[in-house]
Amino acid sequence: MERLKPAFFVVSGMILIAAFSRLIPHWPNFTAVAAIALFGGARLANKFTAFMIPLAALFLTDLILGFHNSMIFVYLAFAITVILGISISKQRNFAAIGLTAAGASVIFFLITNFGAWLAMPFYPNDLSGLVMAYTAGLAFFHDGAMGISPFINSLMGDLFYTFVLFGVYALVQKQVPVLQRA
């Protein structure tokens, strides 16, 4: 077994803290879910732990928040976001990291609405049903209720928490040089 580095504990701790932010009051969909997947993929050197630490953190909070019949699609979107994180592991450019976080939000929308089409009995299992599922999902781009937009909140949360995790870690790395890729 490879020797665990201090960076592993710092990155893992940051992921767990960010994941548990789902349990405190927040704007609808303004959470750190995509950010922990991107951050874990980018900053955990071991590919197994890059998937397992963020997935375990998501699962622990889902044990409290609950599950639904299309959760497999949420976890699939989350795993793809870890892969996106791995793909930007060498990036220090905040624009590239931000674009990747925004892309993760769109991927999440596409995959979870596809899952809703498969899992929900009120959508026909044909192309018209898939179009219905995505059309219904578009309401989440801006539903207008109290100025809340679940998709925009999700996008803003993804960007905010991504920049917080990557930014804080970059600042800590400057102060503690031993914190290289975990």
pLDDT tens digits for range 74-121: 999 999 999 999 999 988 898 999 999 999 999 998 998 899 899 888
For residue 181, how many C-alpha atoms fall within 13 Å in the half-sphere facing its CB? 16
- The residue segments making up the domain with residue 93 are 6-21+28-175
Domain contains 99: yes
What b/e sequence results for 17-55 when a residue is b if at least 16 CB atoms lie within 10 Å of its CB, and e otherwise? ebbebbeeeeeebbbbbbbbbbbbbbbbbeeebbbbbbb
Domain contains 182: no
| Interatomic CA distance for residues 9 and 182, integer angstroms | 8
Domain contains 180: no
Rounded mean pLDDT of 25-31? 82
| Interatomic CA distance for residues 16 and 178, integer angstroms | 21
Domain contains 45: yes
Domain contains 106: yes
Domain contains 181: no
Count structural domains, the chain: 1
Domain contains 136: yes
